[in-house]
A and B are shown apart, each in its own frame.
Chain A
Amino acid sequence: LLFSLFREKKRTKVVELTENMVVDGGSGVSFEWGGRWSHIKKFLERPGPFTHPDFEPGTEGLQFLLETCKILVIGAGGLGCELLKDLALTGFRNINVVDMDTIDVSNLNRQFLFRPKDVGRPKAEVAADFINSRVPGCCVVPYPFYCVDCINLSRLFLRLEFHIIVCGLDSIVARRWMNGMLLSLLVYEDGVLDPGSIIPLIDGGTEGFKGNARVILPGMTACIDCTLELYPPQINFPMCTIASMPRLPEHCIEYVRILQWPKELPFGDGVVLDGDDPEHIQWVFQRSLERAAEFSITGVTYRLTQGVVKRIIPAVASTNAVIAAACATEVFKLATSAYIPLSNYMVFNDVDGLYTYTFEAERKENCSACRQVPQDLHFQQSSKLQEVLDFLTENASLQMKSPAITATVEGKNKTLYLQSVPSIEQRTRANLSKTLKELGLTDGQELAVADSTTPQTVMFRLCFTS
C-alpha cells in the first residue's frame, strides 16, 4: 500500500541542495562500483514466498531507495549514529537528521561517528559529515535544532516531503511531539483517512540493556499516546523525605540540588546548577557527603551524585546497535514492500541471554492524540479548575506537563489557565480555585488544551456528574 503511495507521490516541491551534498556530474552514477548493492538487490530483484503482497521484483526498488526516498532521522546520538550508518549502507541517500545537542565526552563510548576532537560541535553536523565522507553518494543533511521547535520542524516538513520518519530520541515528550506532528498532517475527507497523508513513524528507544522498536502508521495503528502507560511517569522522591527524613544517599543529593543550592547560590546569583559543569557537581558531591554524614548514611559517591543530578541513564553501544538495526530493517521494508513490516512493537532485553517479545499494540479507543473524537472529562459542577488541571497532569494516559486550558464561554474564547506565560499565569491563577460552574462552563462544553507533549490542541468534552 505504502510503496505504491510513495511512487505516486507528486514531486512538486524543489529540494534544496545544501553545500553538504556532494554532486558529481549530476548523474550520481559515478558513486557506484560493481557489486555495491548486490546484498540488497537479492531482496529487491527476486520474487519470494514471504514478500509483502504489494511487492514487485525489479530494479525500481533500488532506484527508489537511491534516488527518491526521503528519510528524516530524529536524533544523532546513540541510536541516531547507528541509524544513519544502517540507512546509508542499505541504499538510502536522501537523509535529513535533526539533533539540537552538541557532542560530549560521555557520548564517545557508543556514538561512533564522533571523535574526541569533535567534542562541543553539533551532533547533527558531525554525524552528517562522517557519513557523507564514508559512504559515497549518500547525502545526509543536518539540522541542528530541537525537534520540538515547532516552527523549524514545520518548515522542514513543508519543504521536504518525507516518506518515513525514524526516531532515536531520549525523551518521551519529544516522542509525543513527533507523534502529534505526524497526526496533524493527516488528511481526512468526509471522516475517511486519506492513506496518502500517512507518514510512517519508526520509533526506537534504549536504556542500558533494554530496548524497543515500533512501527507506527499514524491514524491507522497504535500511536505513542495509545500506549503511554508503557512509559510510567518518573517517580521523584517525596519532599518530606528529602527535607527531613533522608535514608538513601540519593535523598542527600536531591536535598543539596533542590534545597541547598537555591539557598546558597554557591557560584553566584542566578547561576543555575549545571550538571555538565564538574565544579558544580563537585560542590554538590561535597555538600551531599556532609548531609549524609549527619544522618550516618553511606554510599554518596561522585558518580552517584552526577547520576542523580543529571538523571543519567546508563548506555552501551550494543543495545543501541541492536535497536537501530531493527528500526532500519523496518524502514527498508516500508520503503520497498520487500516484506510485511513489524506489527508493531518489539521489546529487547539482553541481561539474561537474549530476549525479544513482539506484539501488536492496540489503538486506544479514546486516545487523546490519534482519535478524532474529543475525550470526555467527568467532573462535578462544583469541582475546581485545579482538579481538572491535576487530572490532566497526573492521569497515566495523558501525562501532560503544563496544560493551558481554553474554552468558549458566552461566545468568547476564554483562557481559563495558562502557566507558561508569566503575565497570563498571574491573571488566570485565581481561576484554579473557582468551580467549573463559577467559570461559566456548561455540560457538554468543549475544552481546548494545549501542552508541550503535543503540537496539536487536544479537545475534551466536559461531562458534569452529580
Chain B
Amino acid sequence: TMAATKASKEQKYDRQLRLWGDHGQETLENAHVCLINATATGTEILKNLVLPGIGAFTIVDGHTVSGEDAGNNFFLSNNSIGRSPDKLLDNDPEFFHRFTIVIGVQLPESTCLRLGSVLWNASVPFLICKTYGLIGYMRLVVQEHTVIESHPDNALEDLRLDQPFEEFKNHTNSYDLDSMDKKDHSHTPWIIIVAKYLEKWLSEHNDQLPKNYKEKEAFRQTIREGIIKTDGGVPEDEENFEEAIKNVNTALNLTKIPSSIENLFNSEQCNSITSQSSPFWVMLRAVKEFVHDEGKGSLPVRGTIPDMIADSQKFINLQNVYREKAMQDAAAVSKHVECLLRSVGKPPESISEKDIKLFCKNASFLRVVRCRSLAEEYSVDSVNKDEIASYMDNPDSEMVFYLMLRAVDRFYQQHSRYPGVYNYQVEEDINKLKVCVNSLLQEYSLSVNIKDDYIHEFCRYGAAEPHTVSAFLGGSAAQEAIKIISHQFVPFNNTFIYNAMSQTSATFQL
C-alpha cells in the first residue's frame, strides 16, 4: 500500500531525513542521474546515490568489461546503454538534456569539452570525476546554482539587541528587574537582562554602544552588579546573569547584512526580474525591497533564539516576540513577492507562503554558486593563470596534480594511450610525459616548476584506478551531486583534488 511504502521509506531513510528533510528527499526521488562510464569510480558514485534513494539513473558506457574491471569494481552487471558518450554527442546530443545532473567519469579531455559545451548550453549540471593512481579529481560545471538552505555550521544568532524592534522594546519594558522576587530574577532570560542594561548604558553614554574591550568589560560589570546579593553582600548564584555576561560579546554584534547578501542584491538577476526568473531571484528581490522599506535597512528577522536559563513562560513569551516579528516580516516580504509576480504576469500563488517563510528564515545564509565553464578554464585567453601560479609557489601543492592530470590528457591525445600502463613503458614514457608537461606550461605561459618526481610518479601510476581512491571519490562526488539535486548545503567551486598519498585535499577555482 502507499501508506506502508511511505512508512517503510521513512524508517529506511530516517538517518538522512534528519539532514535534508522530507522536501530534500523528494528532490532526490524525482531526479534522474546520468553516469558516464561504469568504472570503479563511477559505480561507487552510483552506489552512493542509489542508497539514499535517487529516482532514476542511466549509465552510458561503450566499454566491455575486462579482467581489470572485475578486480576493482564491486558492481559489474547493470542497465547500461552500450554506446559511447562520443557517439551520443555525434548523433544525439539532446539525449543529455533530460538529466538532473550528468556525472562523467574517467573521460578524456576531448569528450569532456564536447560534453561540457552541450550541457552548459542546456543548463544541465555536469560533474567530472577522475581517479588517477592515488589522485582523485572532481570538476563541477554549473552556470548558476542557488541555495536557500545552506545549513551553516556556526551561524550567529539574529537577536537585534543593537537595534531592538518595537515589540521587543515593549516586551523588555514589561520587566522591572529591581522589583522582581528572587525566583523571577534568577529565571529572566539573559537577552532581557542584556537589553535592560544596554538601555541604561545608552542613556548614560550618549546613545553609544560599548565598542572596545574596555567598554564591553565595563558593561559586563554593570550586569555583574545587578546580581542579587545576600544581606552580607555576597552575590547569589544567578546562572542567567552569568549567561548574560558570557554572551555580551556576541550580543553586541552589530546587526548587519552580510556582504555576500549585498552582492546578491547587486547582481543582474536580482535587479531584472522577468517571467523567466526563478523563485529564488524573485524572493531575493522582494527581500531587497523589504530591506529598503519595512526592514529599515535590515533583513527580515530570523525568529529563532538559542536556549537559555529561564522559566518556561518567560522563555516562551520571549521566543514568541521574535517568532511573531519574523512572521510579520515574512508577510511583508510576501506582499513584495506578490507585486513582483504580478508585474511579470505570473500568478501570485506561484511562490508559496511556506517557501517565502523558509527563504526569510535563511536570508543571511543564501548562497549562489557560479562555476566557470570548461571552455573558459581551458582557453588560453581566460585560463586562471594567477590561481595556478600562486598555488605553485609551493611546488608540492595539490595544484601540481591538476597540472599533471592536464599533461596526462595531452599525452593521451598524442599517443592514444596513457603513460606507463605496461611495465616496460614506465621509463621511456617519463620523457614523453615531460614533453607534454612543458608544452602545457608553454601554451598557457605558466612559469611554474613541476618536479621530475611528479612526472615519474604519474608514469608509475599507469592510469591505475585503485579501489580505495575510487571509493573516496565515490563518496565525495555523490554528496556533491546530492547538493546539486536538493539545493541544500553548498557545492564546491570548482576543482577538487584529493591526494591519497598524504590524505590531503584542496579546492581551486579554475
Residues of B within 8 A of A319 (CB): 475, 479
Tell me which of B66, B71, B133, B319 contacts A37 (CB under 8 A): B71
**B27 interfacial contact with A, CB 8 Å:** no
> Closest A-chain residue to B138, C-beta based?
A354
Closest B residue to A341 by beta carbon equals: B503
Contact at B489–A35, with CB atoms within 8 Å?
Answer: no
**Residue on B with the closest CB to A339?**
B501
Q: Which of B53, B151, B468 contacts A325 (CB 8 A)?
A: B468
List CB contacts (< 8 Å) of B442-491 with chain A. Answer: 453, 456-457, 460-462, 464-472, 474-476, 478-480, 482, 489-491
A86 to B502 Cα, complex, angstroms: 18
Cβ contact within 8 Å between A318 and B462: no
Q: Which of A213, A295, A354 has the most CB of B within 10 A?
A: A354
User: Within the complex, which residue of A38, A86, A109 is in contact with B471, where a contact is CB–CB below 8 Å?
Assistant: A86
Q: Is B52 an interface residue (CB 8 A)?
A: yes
Of residues 67 through 124 on chain B, the ones whose CB sits less than 8 Å from some CB of chain A are 67-68, 70-74
Task: Report yes or no: A303 in contact with B72, Cβ–Cβ below 8 A.
Answer: no
When C-beta atoms are compared, the residue in chain B nearest to A134 turns out to be B74
| B469 contacts A89, C-beta separation under 8 Å | no
Interface contact B453-A50, CB-CB below 8 Å: yes
At the interface with chain B, which of A190-198, A345-353, A396-404?
A345-353
Binds A, one of B13-21, B215-223, B287-295: B13-21
CB interface residues, A 108-123, toward B, < 8 Å? 108-110, 112
Other than the given A85-B471, A89-B71, 7 more pairs (CB < 8 A) read: A85-B467, A90-B466, A105-B8, A112-B51, A325-B472, A350-B489, A356-B503
- A43 shortest CB reach to chain B, Å: 7
Cβ contacts B2-27/A at 8 Å (1 or 0 each):
00000010011111111100000000
Interface bits A276-299 vs B (CB < 8 Å: 1, else 0): 000000000000000000011100
* Nearest B-chain residue to A330, judged by Cβ: B503
Chain B residues closer than 8 Å to A66, beta-carbon distance: none
- Report the nearest B residue to A78, measured CB to CB: B15
Which of A317, A319, A342 counts the most chain B CB atoms within 10 A? A317
Closest CB-CB distance, A311 to chain B, in whole Å?
12
Q: How far is the CA of A71 from the CA of B13 in the complex (A)?
A: 31
The answer to whether A312 and B18 touch across the interface, beta carbons within 8 angstroms, is: yes
How many angstroms from the CA of A50 to the CA of B151 in the assembled complex?
39
Q: A37-B71, A46-B426 are in contact. Are A325 and B501 (CB under 8 A)?
A: no
Q: Is the CB of A209 within 8 A of B467?
A: no
- A325 with B18: in contact, given A39-B464, A246-B312, A353-B491 (CB under 8 Å)? no
Contact A354 B68 (CB under 8 A): no
Encoded as 1 (CB less than 8 Å from any B CB) or 0, chain A from 325 to 336 comes to 110111010000
The verdict on A374 contacting chain B, using a C-beta distance below 8 Å, is no
Q: Is A34 an interface residue (CB 8 A)?
A: yes
Q: Within the assembled complex, what's the spacing in Å between the Cα atoms of A326 and B12? A: 26
The verdict on A48 contacting B134 (CB below 8 Å), with A108-B12, A109-B51 known, is no
Q: Please give, as numbers and ranges, the residues of chain B lying within 8 Å of A315 by CB-CB distance.
A: 15-16
Chain A interface (Cβ within 8 Å of chain B)?
A: 33-40, 42-43, 45-50, 82, 85-86, 89-90, 105-106, 108-110, 112, 134, 208-209, 213, 245-248, 295-297, 303, 306-307, 312-322, 324-326, 328-330, 332, 339-340, 342, 346, 349-354, 356, 358
Most chain B Cβ neighbours within 10 Å, of A38, A49, A316, A319? A316
User: Chain A: which residue is nearest B131 at the CB level?
Assistant: A39
Q: Do the beta carbons of A48 and B460 come within 8 Å of each other?
A: yes
Whether B16 pairs with A328 at a CB distance below 8 angstroms is no
B19, B456, B472, most chain A CB atoms within 10 A:
B472
Q: Is B253 an interface residue (CB 8 A)?
A: no
Which A residue sits closest to B68, measured CB to CB?
Answer: A35
Asked whether B48 is an interface residue with its Cβ less than 8 Å from the other chain, the reply is: yes
Contacting residues, chain B, for A349 (C-beta < 8 A): 153
Given the contacts A43-B464, A352-B490, A328 and B471 also touching, CB distance less than 8 Å: yes
Q: Tell me the complex Cα distance, A50–B471, Å.
A: 22
**Most chain A C-beta atoms within 10 Å of own C-beta, residue among B18, B48, B70, B468:** B468
- The reply on B174 being an interface residue by CB < 8 A is no
Nearest 10 pairs of A and B residues by beta carbon: A321-B475, A35-B67, A322-B475, A325-B471, A325-B472, A49-B453, A318-B479, A353-B492, A89-B467, A36-B71
Contacts A33-B70, A43-B464; A346 near B19 (Cβ below 8 A): no
Picked from B51, B68, B187, B489, the residue with its CB within 8 Å of the CB of A110 is B51
Residues from chain A with a CB closer than 8 A to the CB of B457 are 48-50
Interface residues of B in 292-320 (CB under 8 A from A): 307-308, 310-313, 315-316, 319
| B1 within 8 A of partner (CB) | no
Known: A38-B68, A48-B457, A90-B468. A314 touches B74 (CB 8 A): no
Q: Which residue of A lies closest to B151 (CB)?
A: A351
A313 to chain B, nearest CB (A): 8
Residues of B within 8 A of A34 (CB): 67
Q: Which residues of B contact A47 (CB under 8 A)?
A: 460
Using Cβ atoms and an 8 Å threshold, which residues of chain B touch A316? Answer: 15-16, 19, 52, 479
Contact A109 B472 (CB under 8 A): no
A-B contact pairs, 17 of them (CB 8 A): A34-B67, A35-B68, A39-B71, A45-B423, A48-B457, A209-B489, A247-B310, A297-B312, A297-B316, A316-B16, A318-B475, A320-B475, A321-B472, A329-B503, A350-B476, A353-B492, A353-B507
What A residues does B502 contact at CB under 8 A?
342, 358
A106 and B12 alpha carbons, distance in the complex (Å)? 4
CB distance from A57 to the nearest CB of B (A): 10
| CB–CB B496/A248 < 8 A | no
User: Which residues of B sit under 8 angstroms from A346, Cβ to Cβ?
Assistant: 503-504
Would you call B474 and A109 a contact (CB within 8 A)?
no
- Check B74 against A43 for contact (C-beta < 8 Å): no
A295 in contact with B312 (CB, 8 Å): yes
Provide the residues of chain B in CB contact with A248, threshold 8 Å: 307
Specify which of B19, B420, B464, B507 is in contact with A354 (CB 8 Å cutoff): B507
Contact B466 A110 (CB under 8 A): no
Q: What residues on A are CB-neighbors of B316 within 8 Å?
A: 247, 295-297
Contact call A106/B503, Cβ cutoff below 8 A: no
Q: Within 8 Å of chain A (Cβ to Cβ): is B493?
A: yes
Task: Assess the A314–B18 pair: CB atoms within 8 A.
Answer: yes
Is A350 a contact of B133 with CB atoms below 8 Å?
Answer: no
Interface centre among A37, A108, A318, A330 (most CB of B within 10 A): A318
Closest to B465 in A: A39
Q: In the complex, what residues of B have CB within 8 A of residue A89's CB?
A: 40, 71-74, 467
Q: Given A90-B468, A209-B479, A351-B153, do A109 and B70 touch, yes or no (CB 8 Å)?
A: no
Separation in Å of the B183 CB from the closest CB of chain A? 11
- In the bound complex, what is the Cα–Cα distance between A49 and B396 (angstroms)? 13
- In the assembled complex, how far is the CB of residue A42 from the closest CB belonging to chain B, in whole angstroms? 5
Interface set, chain B 28-72, CB cutoff 8 A to A: 40, 44, 47-48, 51-53, 66-68, 70-72
